[in-house]
Amino acid sequence: MRAAFYSQKGSAAEVLEVGEVETPSPGPGEVRVRIAASGVNPSDVKKRQGADLEFSQIVPHSDGAGEIDAVGEGVPESRIGERVWTINGQWQRPFGTAAECISLPSKLAVPLPDGTDDAAGACLGIPVITAYRALTIDGDVSGQTILVAGGAGAVGHYLVQIAKLQGANVIATVSSPEKAAHATAGGADHTIDYKRENVGERVKEITAGRGVDRVIEVDIAANAALIPEVLRPGGTVVIYGSSTPTAEIPVLWCFRNDITFRFFIMYELTDEVRDAAAAAINKMLKAGSLQHAIAASYPLADAVKAHEAVESGKVMGNVVVTM
C-alpha cells in the first residue's frame, strides 16, 4: 500500500516520503481501516521535528476516517463495511493514518454517523475530543463565561461551538480580523485580537470587571502571565497545550485567589472518558450541531505540502490528506 513516512527527524521537505509500505493485517482485537481521509494536526508536525525517533520508520497522523475492511480475532465480522473515525492512530505505535490502510484496536475505530463526510471524520479525534474534554473535565459549564485561547484554531473552533451548545458565554482570543470572523461564525460572543488589543482590559470590560470563570488554554507557557488579568477569584484554568516544557505561573496570585489548574492530554484518557466523549461527539454529529472548517485538502502525494500548511500556522481550520 502507499503511505507517507519518515525515518529521521527534520523538515517535511527533507524527511517526509511517499511510497510503498507493507499493508498491515489486523491482530487480535483489531480492525483494519481503509483510510479515505487523514487529518494532520500540529502534534504530527511536532513529532516529526522532535529530538527522538520513536521507531525506525513512522507513518504519521492519529486522525482519520474510512471503512473497516478486515477484522482480527475476537472482533465481530459485522464490523466489516462500517464507516469509522479513528482515535490515537499513531500514538505509541509506528503506523498512523497517512496511509491507505491502518490496523488499530477495535475500540479506537468509532462508527462515523451518516451525513458526516470523510474529511470531517478525519478532524474528530484530536481536535474535537480535546475540545469536549476541556469543557467537561470538571462538570457543567452552563452559565459560565469562558475565555478560549486561540478561538480560530482547529481545537479552538470546536471549543467555541461546544461551549455554546453547553450554554456558556464565550470570549475567544484571535490574532487577526479574519480569525475573529471565523471564531464569531463558530458562535463566539466576543473576540479579542491579542495582537491589537489589551486582552486583560477587554476581558474586564466585557465582564464588568469580574473576570471569566474559566480559561481554556492552548499555550500556558506563552499566556500564563495573563491569568491574573482575566480570571476571577476561584476560577479555573484548563490546559491542553504548551509551546515549551515549562511555564512561569503567577503562583502567589493563584494562592491568594484559590485558582484551580486542570491539565490533560487526550492521548491518555481512560477508556471510560474517551468512550463517553466519542458518544457525545457522535450525538452532536447526528444532530448536525458542529461546523467543520476544512482549511485545505491535499492528495497523499502532496503530504509534504499538507505538513507545511499546518506548520505555517496560517491556515484557519483543519488540514486533511486524501487517499
- Site of grid cell 448536525: 288
Q: Is 35 helix (H, G, I), strand (E, B) or coil?
A: strand
pLDDT of amino acid 50: 82
pLDDT of amino acid 118: 98
When divided into structural domains, the chain yields a total of 2
pLDDT of amino acid 54: 87
pLDDT of amino acid 215: 98
Tell me if 38 is assigned to some domain.
yes
State the average pLDDT over residues 169-189: 97
Tell me if 283 is assigned to some domain.
no
The C-alpha torsion from 56 through 57 and 60 to 65, rounded to 10°, is -120
67 contacts: CB under 8 Å, gap ≥ 6: 33, 34, 36, 81, 82, 83, 84
Q: 98: which 3 cell numbers?
A: 497517512
pLDDT of amino acid 315: 85
Number of Cβ within a 10 Å radius of residue 284: 17
User: Are the CB atoms for 211 and 196 separated by under 8 Å?
Assistant: no
| 247 & 136 share domain | yes
Tell me 267's DSSP state. G
State the average pLDDT over residues 4-13: 95
User: Are the CB atoms for 154 and 127 separated by under 8 Å?
Assistant: yes
Q: Is the pLDDT of residue 52 over 90?
A: no
Q: Which amino acid is at 58?
A: I
User: Are the CB atoms for 303 and 16 separated by under 8 Å?
Assistant: yes
81: exposed, middle or buried (Cβ count in 10 Å: 0-12, 13-18, 19+): exposed
User: Are the CB atoms for 191 and 171 separated by under 8 Å?
Assistant: yes
User: Are the CB atoms for 113 and 280 separated by under 8 Å?
Assistant: no
Number of Cβ within a 10 Å radius of residue 255: 9
Tally: H helices and E strands in the chain: 12, 15
| 132 & 118 share domain | no
Tell me if 273 is assigned to some domain.
no
Q: Is 135 helix (H, G, I), strand (E, B) or coil?
A: helix
pLDDT in tens, 226-255: 999 999 999 999 999 999 999 999 999 999
User: Are the CB atoms for 176 and 197 separated by under 8 Å?
Assistant: no
Q: By percentage, how much of the chain surpasses pLDDT 90?
A: 96
Which secondary-structure segment (H or E) carries 217?
strand 212-217
Instruction: Give 260's pLDDT tier (boundaries 50, 70, 90).
Output: very high
pLDDT in tens, 191-233: 999 999 999 999 999 999 999 999 999 999 999 999 999 999 9
pLDDT in tens, 61-117: 999 999 999 999 999 999 999 999 999 999 999 999 999 999 999 999 999 999 999
| 111 & 228 share domain | no
| 75 & 198 share domain | no
User: Are the CB atoms for 255 and 245 separated by under 8 Å?
Assistant: no
pLDDT of amino acid 51: 67
| 16 & 95 share domain | yes
User: Are the CB atoms for 82 and 67 separated by under 8 Å?
Assistant: yes
pLDDT of amino acid 28: 98
pLDDT in tens, 112-163: 999 999 999 999 999 999 999 999 999 899 999 999 999 999 999 999 999 9
pLDDT of amino acid 38: 98
Number of Cβ within a 10 Å radius of residue 313: 10
Mean pLDDT of the chain: 96
pLDDT of amino acid 43: 92
Tell me if 275 is assigned to some domain.
no
| 144 & 255 share domain | yes
pTM over 0.75: yes
| 191 & 305 share domain | no
Tell me if 282 is assigned to some domain.
no
Tell me if 274 is assigned to some domain.
no
d(CA 79, CA 67): 9
**Segments forming the whole domain that contains residue 255:** 127-266
| 55 & 142 share domain | no
CATH number of the domain that residue 77 is part of: 3.90.180.10
| 105 & 60 share domain | yes
pLDDT in tens, 274-321: 999 999 999 999 999 999 999 999 999 999 999 999 998 888 889 999
| 224 & 251 share domain | yes
Tell me if 277 is assigned to some domain.
no
C-alpha of 105 from chain center: 20
198 — phi, psi (to 5°)? -85, 110
